[in-house]
Structure 1
């Protein structure tokens, strides 16, 4: 009986791990549905229109994680748009050799506005010592090109 229980637990654990792996592997570009698009804020839709124009007004595709969120300590919500996770139809991302456009918006008091923009390889948002920050990675695999920008209440500096 105990061997059966152990075998059952191994099977359940294995199937759960496979489900997590398949969920993480969903990195392909997929069309952004009109329903998903309509649920986005006007500022984010405007940012995506920029990507659409860069694609020659063809439809855009997105990967999971093209939008990332950070809740600030005083109730503001930051949204980062990662253009490296956006593509043109079935083609590759909308980037250049110097990186991809990244934009950060803050939502506070019913208004959303852009507070940072850069053509870089990656950004990560986090809370450092109670203050929102952005870690900017401006070089491909060159880790020497890195800087942290701190939220001052109106911009990242």
Structure 2
């Protein structure tokens, strides 16, 4: 599904390794490998959402990425948006909308409420002058970027109207 959406996978082989529950992240991607925490190995669809995100990072982050952390939304926003499109293809378009809604409610909104709508960390493009990028990191860049892309998709006519590299070759 990722190749249908994004074009050929240039890295060759993609593997997944399961790490112990104490691994500090739900998942970590590399060009040819995703590391996932054992807490994701259950019967719900969260595992697929995380794996889809890690696979999409092979294109949006490992193959093409922003020039600086100030434009992190491009890497994370496209990753979240495209991984949700994959999950929508796997499950349903309403499920993709549900993922977007819960991302807005659970990740985006609390960060904006914590910092305030005018705070640098709540902007789509952030100024990190004299700021440790690790302090500016949150789910905001991925969720806000994805919300922006979802908005553009709706304005352009819906999911069938979005540019797909494979169909443009």
TM-score, with length taken from structure 1: 0.32
More strand by share: 1
Task: Indicate the structure whose relative CO is greater, using CA pairs within 8 Å and at least 6 residues apart.
Answer: 2
* Alignment TM-score, normalising by the size of structure 2: 0.30
